[in-house]
């Protein structure tokens, strides 16, 4: 492997297009594909006679055989077939999507008269392999380290599928980066901005709409709020024009093109061309040759105003979402320093106009190329993670931190702060968990996010249970609980049976990015305000835990030493006290203390004389 082999690349794996970029020798550059284009359509064509074509040619071939032309796989990735968003997409796909045995979508095409089935992940791999091949041919070097971008709303499964597909394509993924973060990074790099700054990324692509508010503090670029619609984008605008053409053909020529999938596909493409033309011209002319019998040539015109009226509702929808995102973040429009446009559909003049009006005439950012900024940001991120000297980058740093602490609930609802807020990613933490009274073959612990010592005042993320534990006396079952967050924002909770081989892992949806700044601030404020109460809670739990442990151990010792009959009163009292203690709240601390006294009066001499084991240390 040559020197290039060390280089790390950025890939924008888009719904409609993919783009590859690299930062090298103090410059960020787009890597063109082998046809010399800066973006590659996310299109795969399965040739009926065998073989697979990817990109622009695949798109062209699919006009002939739409059932074999696969696109917008990103809408299917990591989703189940009963997902309503996936169901929506299915309505207009000309290719066949069915459900496999685990209710996941499977795409089937015909090749050589037999059916070929591919999962969305396999399709992603085909696409990524092609991108890899292209870059390698272009640079005449092998390439494997990459940063791949994903929508901020992607969940753990969608991220994992992307990760796995890239691995299968031969890549080493340094990081999965959120698309708006990448766009902001490209912008901050371009602008060489050092001071604190807040931007809003409006990303309207072919099939999805994303809005994100990001803040730069020192070198750190942080996502503070995201919103979006994964089913809104350029193709919905194409559909408006398509509908108009279909109506014209029906009304004027009595022809219904929707009955023929080939006609539909042709018209869809013509609609997109017309839409793009209307971004620069006032009028677009659509010419249809040989489609309608008895009308060898049909000309339909559409002007910009007409298009704007047709798509008005959709345009407004993006503004509503943006408005909601701002409201949720509790930031005013005025506090946004810059609006960054990204995604091909932001070239539509009406969209730019609506945004300018919304932001009271604020200049929209035109420094960033809307098709390329996400890939450029990924390339910058890749350079930051690269070890290659040629990719040394010192103008910018991207540090992801944990915005709020994460931990497990211990016995008595106390928060164990396993990962402290502000920890730099990747990070992890562990703690030993000793089972409580009751079923000793299973241990469960809630996983919470927040700063309060009482978990019930924090946000619950998930529950981790481990069962089939190695038998041990109730109260002495020990499990190591570990939490780790990787650089991709995937939170993994692990439980390990200390005495056995048993390990249970749980991946949790956790993108620090979906917590708004206001939410974080409120959480911190709330914790600061209640500091004294929280300290009291910890103190109270100390007594409560002592009482429970004491009683559990007495019960266990009496059982183990066959002393139950002899000390029936003690046994009964401790058994019922455990249950009673669990229910006690902070304002009942004195009752807990009284119970401790009572327990000790009743049991302590036996505990001492018989040298009971596993008794808790005195407080």
Residues at the site binding ligand AMP, with contacts judged by CB under 6 A: 14-17, 205-206, 234-235, 272, 275-276, 279, 343-345, 347-348, 371
CA quadruple 565, 570, 574, 576: dihedral, nearest 10: 80
Which is nearest to 383 in space by CA: 26, 113, 77?
Answer: 26
Q: Which is nearer to ligand AMP, 42 or 386 (CB)?
A: 42
Select 130 or 272, whichever has its Cβ closest to ligand AMP. 272
**Smallest separation (angstroms) from ligand AMP to the CB of 235:** 6
- Interacting residues of 335 by C-beta distance below 8 A, sequence separation 6+: 198
Nearer to ligand AMP, 343 or 489 (CB): 343
Q: Give least dist CB 159 to ligand AMP, A.
A: 19
Q: Min. distance of Cβ 53 from ligand AMP in angstroms? A: 19
Taking 3-state DSSP, the helix, strand and coil percentages for the chain, each rounded to the nearest 5, stand at 40, 25, 30
C-alpha torsion 611→613→618→619, nearest 10? -160
Q: Give min distance, CB of 344 to ligand AMP, in A.
A: 2
- Considering beta carbons, is residue 286 or 434 the nearer one to ligand AMP? 286
With respect to ligand AMP, which residue has the nearer C-beta, 15 or 410?
15
d(CA 16, CA 365) in angstroms, rounded, equals 23
Q: SS3 for 230?
A: coil
Nearer to ligand AMP, 347 or 593 (CB): 347
Tell me how far apart the alpha carbons of residues 186 and 188 are, in angstroms, rounded to a whole number. Answer: 6
Residue 203 CB, shortest distance to ligand AMP, in Å, is: 7
In angstroms, what CA-CA distances link 498 with 30, 431, 484?
A: 51, 12, 19
Select 160 or 272, whichever has its Cβ closest to ligand AMP: 272
- In sequence order, the 6+-apart residues with CB closer than 8 A to the CB of 195 are none
Please report how close the Cβ of residue 300 comes to ligand AMP at its closest, in angstroms. 19
Q: Is 192 in contact with 26 (CB distance < 8 Å)?
A: no
**Which CB, 275 or 584, lies closer to ligand AMP?**
275
Rounded to 5 degrees, φ, ψ at 430 are -135, 160
C-alpha torsion angle, residues 248, 251, 252, 254 (rounded to 10)? 110
Question: Are 326 and 291 within 8 A, CB to CB?
Answer: no
* Residue 211 Cβ vs ligand AMP, minimum distance, rounded to whole Å: 14
How many C-beta atoms lie closer than 10 Å to residue 240's C-beta?
20
Is the CB of 16 or the CB of 391 nearer to ligand AMP? 16
Name the residue nearer to ligand AMP (CB basis): 16 or 158. Answer: 16
Question: Distance (Å, rounded) from C-alpha 414 to C-alpha 409?
Answer: 6
Minimum Å gap between C-beta 38 and ligand AMP is 11
**Contact assessment for residue 7 and residue 34, using Cβ atoms and an 8 Å cutoff:** no
The residues facing 170 across adjacent strands are none
CB of 314 to ligand AMP, least distance (A): 12
Report, in Å, the least distance between residue 20 CB and ligand AMP.
13
The nearest distance, CB 374 to ligand AMP, in angstroms, is 8
Please classify residue 122 by burial: count the beta carbons closer than 10 Å to its beta carbon, then call 0-12 exposed, 13-18 middle and 19+ buried.
middle
Write out the two tokens for 535: 């300290």
CB of 265 to ligand AMP, least distance (A): 15
The full DSSP string for 324-371 is: HHHHHHT--GGG--EEEEESGGGG-HHHHHHHHHHTTTPPEE-SS-TT
Of the pair 105, 343, the CB lying nearest ligand AMP is at 343
What is the closest distance, in whole angstroms, from the C-beta atom of residue 79 to ligand AMP in the complex? 19
In the complex with ligand AMP, the residue whose CB is nearer, 141 or 347, is 347
CA 386 to chain centre: 23
- Residue closer to ligand AMP, measured from CB, 15 or 577: 15
The kind and range of the H/E element at 16 are: none
Strand order in the sheet with 96-99: 96-99, 105-111, 114-118
Cβ–Cβ under 8 Å, residues 66 and 95: yes
In the β-sheet with 478-485, what is the strand arrangement from edge to edge?
A: 427-434, 478-485, 491-497, 503-508
Q: Give least dist CB 16 to ligand AMP, A.
A: 4
Q: Which string of DSSP letters, residue by residue, matches 231-266?
A: T-SHHHHHHHHHHHHHHHHHHHH---GGG-HHHHHH
Q: Which helix (H) or strand (E) holds 167?
A: helix 156-168
Nearer to ligand AMP, 14 or 450 (CB): 14
């Amino acid at each position: 492997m040559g020197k290039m082999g060390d280089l790390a690349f950025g890939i924008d794996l888009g719904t409609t297009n993919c783009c590859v970029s690299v930062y090298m020798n103090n410059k960020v550059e787009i890597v063109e594909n082998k046809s010399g284009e800066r973006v590659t359509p996310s299109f795969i064509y399965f040739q009926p006679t065998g073989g697979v074509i990817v990109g622009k040619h695949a798109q062209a071939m699919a006009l002939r055989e739409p059932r074999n032309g696969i696109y917008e796989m990103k809408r299917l990735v990591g989703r189940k077939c009963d997902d309503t968003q996936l169901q929506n997409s299915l309505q207009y796909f000309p290719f066949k999507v069915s459900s496999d045995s685990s209710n996941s979508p499977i795409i089937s095409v015909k090749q050589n008269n037999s059916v070929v089935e591919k999962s969305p992940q396999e399709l992603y791999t085909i696409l990524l392999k092609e991108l890899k091949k292209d870059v390698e041919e272009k640079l005449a070097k092998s390439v494997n380290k990459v940063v791949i971008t994903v929508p901020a709303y992607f969940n753990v499964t969608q991220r994992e599928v992307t990760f796995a597909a890239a691995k299968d394509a031969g890549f080493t993924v340094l990081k999965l980066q959120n698309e708006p973060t990448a766009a902001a990074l490209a912008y901050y790099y371009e602008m060489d901005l050092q001071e604190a700054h807040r931007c809003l990324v409006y990303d309207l692509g072919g099939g999805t709409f994303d809005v994100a508010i990001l803040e730069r503090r020192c070198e750190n670029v942080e996502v503070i709020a995201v919103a979006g619609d994964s089913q809104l984008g350029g193709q919905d605008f194409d559909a408006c024009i398509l509908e108009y053409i279909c109506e014209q053909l029906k009304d004027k020529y009595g022809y219904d093109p929707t009955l023929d999938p080939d006609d539909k596909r042709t018209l869809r493409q013509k609609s997109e061309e017309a839409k793009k033309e209307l971004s620069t011209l006032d009028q677009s002319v659509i010419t249809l040759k040989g489609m309608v019998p008895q009308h060898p040539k049909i000309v339909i015109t559409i002007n910009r105003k007409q298009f704007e009226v047709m798509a008005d509702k959709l345009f407004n929808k993006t503004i509503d979402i943006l408005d909601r995102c701002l409201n949720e973040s509790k930031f005013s429009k005025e506090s946004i320093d810059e609006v960054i446009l990204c995604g091909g559909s932001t070239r539509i003049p009406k969209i730019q106009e609506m945004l300018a009006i919304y932001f009271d005439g604020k200049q929209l950012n035109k420094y960033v190329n809307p098709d390329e900024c996400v890939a450029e940001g990924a390339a910058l991120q890749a350079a930051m993670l690269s070890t290659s000297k040629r990719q040394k980058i010192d103008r910018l740093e991207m540090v992801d931190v944990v915005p709020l602490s994460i931990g497990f609930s211990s016995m008595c609802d106390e928060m164990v702060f396993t990962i402290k807020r502000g920890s730099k990613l990747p990070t992890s933490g562990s703690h030993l968990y000793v089972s409580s009274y009751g079923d000793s073959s299973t241990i469960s612990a809630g996983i919470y996010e927040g700063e309060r010592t009482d978990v019930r005042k924090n946000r619950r993320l998930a529950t981790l249970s481990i069962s089939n534990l190695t038998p041990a006396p109730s109260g002495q079952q020990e499990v190591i609980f570990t939490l780790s967050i990787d650089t991709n924002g995937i939170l993994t909770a692990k439980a390990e049976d200390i005495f056995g081989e048993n390990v249970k892992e749980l991946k949790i949806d956790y993108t620090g990015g979906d917590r708004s700044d206001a939410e974080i601030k409120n959480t911190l404020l709330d914790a600061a305000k209640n500091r004294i109460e929280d300290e009291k809670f910890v103190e109270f739990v100390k007594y409560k835990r002592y009482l429970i442990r004491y009683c559990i151990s007495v019960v266990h010792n009496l059982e183990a030493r066959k002393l139950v009959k002899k000390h029936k009163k003690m046994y009964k009292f401790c058994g019922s006290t455990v249950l009673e203690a669990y229910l006690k709240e902070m304002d009942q601390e004195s009752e807990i203390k009284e119970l401790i006294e009572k327990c000790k009066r009743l049991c302590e001499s036996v505990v001492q004389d018989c040298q009971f084991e596993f008794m808790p240390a005195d407080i």
